[in-house]
Amino acid sequence: MLGKDKDLMKNETLTASEYLNIPIEIIDPNPWQPRQDFDPKSLQDLAASLAQDGILQPLVVARNPMNASRYFVIAGERRLRAAKLAGLMKVPVHLKTVDMEADDHLRVALIENIQRSNLNVVEEAKAYRCLIDQFGYTQEDCAHKVGKDRTTIANALRILTLPEDIHDDIVNERLSSGHARAIAGLNDPVKIRQVRDWILKKRLNVRETESLCKKMKFEGATRALPQVNADLNYIAETLRSILHAQVSIKGTMQKGRIELSYFSQEEFQTFLVLLGYDSAAN
């Protein structure tokens, strides 16, 4: 069993360094949780595992500074969500006890989540921005607190300057963080989207993308990107808006091919529905 297999009774108080089983109903989510992407399928799989074997690694919690009878998660929110899905009434926790003000509790929770969580680069960048904007950290402070160099922090923050649809590309792994850092240096939304489309059409790697971005800076889009037939480009854009997917047309009006790219099973099923294919009937 984990540490001291001890329940939190009505008048009992948690002490540091103890593992206790406490009611799940008195644990609140972390208000500064940087991780926003909790995959439903992954949570269901974890819930099934927890229902069978229980939680093997305790959650890390802190006392809620606004309500002494409640706690909030510092690390382990995914396990907390899965435990609720599994119908568990109690979960093992480790109390992190520090004498701090309310804002400091939240700051420490945010830092610990950056260090522990498997965040995508957008979530990580937003967490750094929160430390800077909400708690007055410099980039050097962020780097020191999370154990990374300042350049890593600066590169992550540059990604936040990209349009939201580019963020979606990163989160859904259509673009890598390396691609994002390269196109963030363009500082021009039009050029950014032109390069983004070309990356997806030609499946450019990061080095090729960096080279293209350099050409865009010094030569402009007219010379850096091959010219596209205006009619075909219009048709491709129209198809993108209808299908809500990446569409590329290669060739001419007389001969060529249309390519549809999908990045998840859900997008593939959407294509099938739009094409009139009923997977349930087949």
Q: How far is CA 116 from its chain centroid? A: 14
Inter-residue contact 22 to 71 (CB < 8 Å):
yes
- CA–CA distance, 193 with 237 (Å, rounded to integer): 13
Non-local (6+) Cβ contacts of 166 within 8 A are 175, 180, 183, 192, 193, 196
Let me know the angle formed at the C-alpha of 218 by 215 and 223, rounded to the nearest 5 degrees: 55
Inter-residue contact 161 to 185 (CB < 8 Å):
no
Inter-residue contact 199 to 175 (CB < 8 Å):
yes
77 tagged catalytic: yes
3-state secondary structure of 19: strand
Closest CA relative to residue 184, chosen from 212, 206, 213, 208: 213
Catalytic residue among 12, 77, 123, 237: 77
| Residues assigned a catalytic role | 77
